[in-house]
């Protein structure tokens, strides 16, 4: 399955590649074959990058799941920072069930998403009211293509693991963990959106 919003990119490269293929077949244009080969490689990259596999969490209701594929690059108090490389799936998911109460889009710069100052980049703040309190998910764009594609709007009710949007190319997702959850991941851990538990509800004494 391909991510929502990916078809314009794929169709554009497919059209360009087709033109090079026709030029290589019908003309003696010296760069036609090279253009065709390059186009095919870019198409393969886009199909890999824009993949959007189904995810079914095996974790119970007491778990908070990762909103993004990638690696935990920082833990700041109750905030987890997840960096996504090119090979990661870039579709993000709701870490807990709840209602989207507020969304705020902010323009920004070109700082690499793994840097601590990347909060100055283009980003989308999503606030979700859950039964455990309000959480915030921040989608932060990277240096190459600053484009965040939301799949949701204010007032939507989200199931845990439901798709909330995607960030194109290198990027980061930050998420706050409610106080009544125990963080169970560490800096450097690999996580998967909609699948990996990042925090667990505290047991009642």
Radius of gyration of the chain (CA): 19
Q: Residue 103's Cα: distance from chain center in Å?
A: 16
Structure tokens at 72: 């935990």
Please name the residues in contact with 54: beta carbons below 8 A apart, sequence gap of 6 or more: 1
Has 6 been annotated as catalytic? no
| Tokens 């009642």 belong to residue | 204
- The total of other beta-carbon atoms located within 10 Å of residue 159's CB is 10
Residues 59, 158: contact at Cβ < 8 Å? no
Among the options 6, 66, 118, 171, which is catalytic? 171
Residues taking part in catalysis: 171
């Amino acid at each position: 399955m391909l991510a929502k919003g990916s078809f314009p990119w794929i169709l554009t490269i497919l059209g360009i590649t087709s033109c090079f293929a026709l030029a290589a077949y019908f003309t003696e244009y010296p760069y036609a074959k090279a253009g065709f080969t390059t186009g095919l490689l870019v198409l393969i990259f886009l199909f890999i990058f824009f993949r959007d596999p189904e995810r079914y969490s095996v974790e119970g209701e007491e778990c908070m799941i990762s909103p993004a594929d990638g690696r935990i690059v920082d833990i700041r108090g109750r905030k987890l920072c997840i960096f996504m490389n090119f090979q990661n799936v870039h579709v993000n998911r709701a870490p807990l069930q709840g209602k989207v109460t507020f969304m705020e889009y902010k323009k920004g710069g070109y700082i690499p998403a793994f840097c601590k100052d990347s909060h100055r980049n283009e980003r989308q703040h999503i606030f979700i009211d859950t039964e455990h309190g309000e959480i915030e998910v921040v989608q932060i764009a990277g240096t190459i293509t600053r484009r965040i594609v939301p799949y949701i709007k204010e007032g939507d009710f989200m199931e845990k693991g439901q798709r909330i949007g995607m960030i194109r190319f290198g990027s980061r997702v930050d998420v706050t963990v409610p106080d009544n959850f125990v963080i169970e991941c560490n800096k450097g851990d690999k996580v998967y959106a909609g699948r990996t538990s990042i925090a667990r509800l505290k047991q009642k004494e």
